[in-house]
Structure formats: structure tokens, C-alpha cells
Amino acid sequence: MFTTMEQINQFFNDRKGLGIKPGFGRMIYMLEALDNPHKDIKAVHIAGTNGKGSTLAFMKQALIDQGFRVTSFVSPSFGSVREHIFLQNEPISEERFIHYINTLIPVVKELDENEDGPSEFEILVMVAILFSRDDSTISLFETGMGGSGDSTNVLEPVLSIITMIDLDHTAFLGETIEEVAAQKAGIIKAQTPIVSGVTQVEAKQVVKGFAAKNNAPLYQWGEAFYINVSEEVYSFTYQDQVIEGIRVSLPGKHQQRNSSLALMGLSLLKDVNSEEAAESFQKVLYSGRFETISSQPTVIIDGAHNLSGIESLIHTVLQRYPYKKKTLLYSALKDKPIAQMVPLLEEAFDEVVFTTFNHSRSSSPEYLASFSTNADPKMVLDWEEYIGEVWEDLNEGVLVIAGSLYWLPDVKEYVNRKRNK
């Protein structure tokens, strides 16, 4: 039995060697051993390459504002292991987290003894399911990496959402947009409504095929519903309903699309007022999405880790800071399309600095710089030391720190410490 989070953190560290494990056998074994708690929750299941976390955040705020008790599961977390799982806008408490881990331990030990031990991610999904059964009127679950093979796909949701897709995690999800779309569309369940924000023609056909096969009502962005954008606001149209003047708190045009997917999904849920939901979008806060973590000097973090994310980051930073010097400190995992991303970043920013961080799949500065179009690309091994050196010299410029979401929580913590000195 565990009594502290320190013990649980060590428990998870010891399991990291298990890595990503395919198949649902372990999840089904744990669920059946605990009386199938996933059947007792009202869940919304969200997949996508980009935007699934933001879409979840928009839905969550609207549901909270309308009196729902909302649990949510996000991946990756933006902080401690508990920050995968939330009740309203607060992470699951240490006490409850420890309780559910202890509930699972006997079943985990049985699987370990059968040499089929569950991964860290599978255990976290189980904790989220148990917590949701006990504490929510509705639950929002974000997939991890994929869709069809993701541990969250044991859910029996009342609604599924697929946000934007892109080529990412190609070693696991496929090397074409159709293959990736098929993975994401694997969350579509029989006769369960599906909201799609997919835009590529080939990918849309894949999603439509999966929806038809499962007799699932499909609500496709730009077809079943659409938006008209006018600078900082947009209007939303679905059938005879038109909601005007929608404004969102998260910067970037892509967040208007993400929020419209959330609004379509909310419109399909019982006892939700769509117009009130749209008003809630102005209140949403979401870590790591073009988030200003210091205003003097201006320091922004952004989880742009694939091609679509990079394009959104560039559009937003050029729109927000057209006349300021823009410096980028960048790092990414090795399996990202770095060859395509780096030249785009160098074209948009006045200076790009490549670095690394403490993760087994983190790229080295030299590897990132090997794709540079500059004759003498700048590289630093210690990103903390670099921030400390340039802090006083930023003046009227902007420092954007972007890349892997596994890195940005450490960046935010460091900058907060430095700002508060």
C-alpha cells in the first residue's frame, strides 16, 4: 500500500521501461476486475494531432459554468503526474490519487506476475476512469498518442470528437495522412455522434467511411457546421442556429476552429445551452498554448511540436508582435518532422537557438541544427543558463520558448522562479 506521492512517483519511474504497449488486454483485465467502471460514466472522447487539449479546455469551461461536475483526462500532463486528471479546474488530490492507485495495485500485481504488466499510461487511464465514475456528471477524455489503439479507446462515449490531424508519431500511426486519419477515426463508435475538424480531403473521406460503417452521425467542420471569422470574433452556424460575436481567450486563429468543434460537441449534449457555452470561451486558460509566462521581459511558451503546430505558432507570433525582435529557443523530440519545421521557424524568427532537455527521446542541439538553413546556427546545451544570460537583454524583444510539451512545464517553473526573485 502506498501512503505518499513520492512512493507512487518511484513506482511509475520503475515502470517506464515497459514503454508503449499495444493491445487492450490489460485494460480489459483491469476494468473487468473492478466491475467495469467505464460503463458507469458519461464520457466525451477527443482525438487529434493538434487541438484536442484546447478543444477539451473549451468544453470543460462551458460545462463547469453550466453547473456540471466535470472530470477530465489529458495527455501529456503539464506538470506532476496528478495533472493528467482533473475535477473541474483542479488536479485530482494526492489523497484520492493514492486511494485509486492502491485500489489498482492488486490487479496490477496479477498482470505483472503474468509478465504482462500495464504501462504507466494504462494505469493513469484507469485512475481517471475510477475517479470519473465516483465524482463526475460528465467526463472529458483526451487520447494519448493515437486513437484506435489508445488505452482510452475502451471508453463507451456519448460523443466523439476528432480535431485537426497531421503527420506525427509516424512510427506508430502511419506515414500518410490517410493512415493517421484511420488511427484517429478508430475512436468512432457505433451510433455515437462524431464531430470532425479534419480538413484534408483524403482524411475527411477516411473519417466519413468510418462514420458510415459505424452508423455514427457525422458533424463535419465546414459542412454540417461552419464559422465566419471577422478579426477577433467569429459566428457559428449549425442548421438554423447562428451564434454571433464569439470571442475566445486563447490566441491564434486555430483556437477559433478548436472552440467551434467544442461548441458543436456541446450543442449535441443534453441540458447544455450553446449560446451560454460560447460566452464561456472568453474565460478559458490553457497552459502551454502561446502562454505568456512573463511580461517584463516578454516570455512566451508554446507546445508547437509538429508541422501544423509550427504554422499556428508562426501565424500567431507574427500577428501579435509584428514589429518586435523575435527570438526562439527551440527543442523537440527526435520523431518529429524537424527537417520541415526548422526552415519555417528560421524564416519567421529573427534568431533561433536550438537546445535540448532531459528526456530519453529529446533531440540534441546538433541534430536540430543539422536542418538549419543558416551557415552558423546557434546551439546551447543548458537552456536554463541561456535564459539567465539573455534575461536582462530582452528589453523590447520577445522570447518564445517552444517545442515539446514534455519540456515546457520545467521551463515555466524556471521562469516563474526567476521572475519572482
Residue 207: partners with Cβ closer than 8 Å, 6 or more residues away: 162, 181, 184, 185, 188, 194, 196, 198, 218, 220
Least confident stretch, 25-39, 126-140, 148-162, 384-398: 384-398
Q: Report the CATH number that the domain containing residue 13 is assigned in CATH.
A: 3.40.1190.10
Report the pLDDT value the prediction gives residue 15, as an integer from 0 to 100.
85
Share of the chain above pLDDT 70, in %: 97
Whether 249 shows a pLDDT value over 50: the answer reads: yes
Question: Minimal CA–CA distance to 405: which of 291, 255, 314?
Answer: 291
pTM score: 0.87
Verify that 80 and 120 share a domain, yes or no.
Answer: yes
Verify that 242 and 166 share a domain, yes or no.
Answer: yes
Verify that 251 and 303 share a domain, yes or no.
Answer: no
End-of-domain residue from the set 256, 283, 310: 283
Verify that 244 and 200 share a domain, yes or no.
Answer: yes
Q: What are phi and psi of 329, to 5 degrees?
A: -105, 120
Q: What is the rounded average pLDDT of the residues 61-74?
A: 98
Q: Which residue has the higher pLDDT, 394 or 343?
A: 343
Verify that 225 and 309 share a domain, yes or no.
Answer: no
Q: Report the CATH number that the domain containing residue 326 is assigned in CATH.
A: 3.90.190.20
Whether 155 shows a pLDDT value over 70: the answer reads: yes
Alpha-helical segments (H) within 189-324:
201-213, 253-267, 274-280, 307-320
Report the pLDDT value the prediction gives residue 173, as an integer from 0 to 100.
52
Range of the domain at 303: 291-419
Verify that 374 and 270 share a domain, yes or no.
Answer: no
> Using CA atoms, how far apart are residues 252 and 209, in angstroms rounded to an integer?
31
Number of domains in the chain: 2
Whether 415 shows a pLDDT value over 80: the answer reads: yes
Verify that 171 and 301 share a domain, yes or no.
Answer: no
Verify that 295 and 208 share a domain, yes or no.
Answer: no
Residue 272: partners with Cβ closer than 8 Å, 6 or more residues away: 62, 63, 66, 266
End-of-domain residue from the set 253, 283, 313: 283
Verify that 271 and 231 share a domain, yes or no.
Answer: yes
pLDDT digits 0-9 by tens, 76-112: 888 789 999 999 999 999 999 999 999 999 999 999 9
Whether 174 shows a pLDDT value over 80: the answer reads: no
Share of the chain above pLDDT 90, in %: 75
∠ CA 226-303-320, rounded to 5°: 65
The answer to whether the CB of 145 falls within 8 A of the CB of 153 is no
> Using CA atoms, how far apart are residues 339 and 234, in angstroms rounded to an integer?
34
Whether 152 shows a pLDDT value over 50: the answer reads: yes
Report the pLDDT value the prediction gives residue 172, as an integer from 0 to 100.
45
